[in-house]
Amino acid sequence: MRKVLLVDDAAFMRMRCAKLLTAEGFQVAEAANGREAVEQYEAVRPDLVLMDITMPEMDGITATREITQRDRAANVIMVSALGQQSMVMEAIRAGARDFVVKPYEPDRVLGAIRRIFPQ
Partner 1 sequence: MQTNLADPFVSAAVRILTAELGSEVARQERRNEDEPILGGDVTIMVGITGDVKGLVALAMSMETAGAIAGAMMGGPGAELDEIGKSCVAELGNMIAGMATVELEQEGYPSNITPPSVVTGRSMTISTGVGGGRVVFPLTTSFGHIALHVSLKLAA
Q: Identify which of residues 39 and 105 has a Cβ nearer to partner 1 in the complex.
A: 105
Among 5, 6, 13, 17, contact with partner 1 (rule: CB under 8 A): 13
Q: Is 17 a binder of partner 1 (CB under 8 A)?
A: no
Q: Judge contact between 55 and 11, C-beta under 8 A.
A: no
Q: Is 36 a binder of partner 1 (CB under 8 A)?
A: no
With 0-12 / 13-18 / 19 or more C-beta atoms within 10 angstroms meaning exposed / middle / buried, residue 3 is middle
Q: Is 62 a binder of partner 1 (CB under 8 A)?
A: no
Minimal distance, residue 63 CB to partner 1, in Å: 14
Q: Is 64 a binder of partner 1 (CB under 8 A)?
A: no
Among 83, 93, 114, 115, contact with partner 1 (rule: CB under 8 A): 83
Q: What are the angstrom distances between the C-alpha of 18 and each of 94, 105, 112?
A: 25, 13, 16
What 3-state DSSP class applies to 79? strand
Alpha helix segments (H runs only) across the chain: 11-23, 34-44, 60-70, 85-94, 106-116
Positions in the binding site for partner 1 (CB under 8 A)? 9-13, 15-16, 54-56, 80-86, 101-103
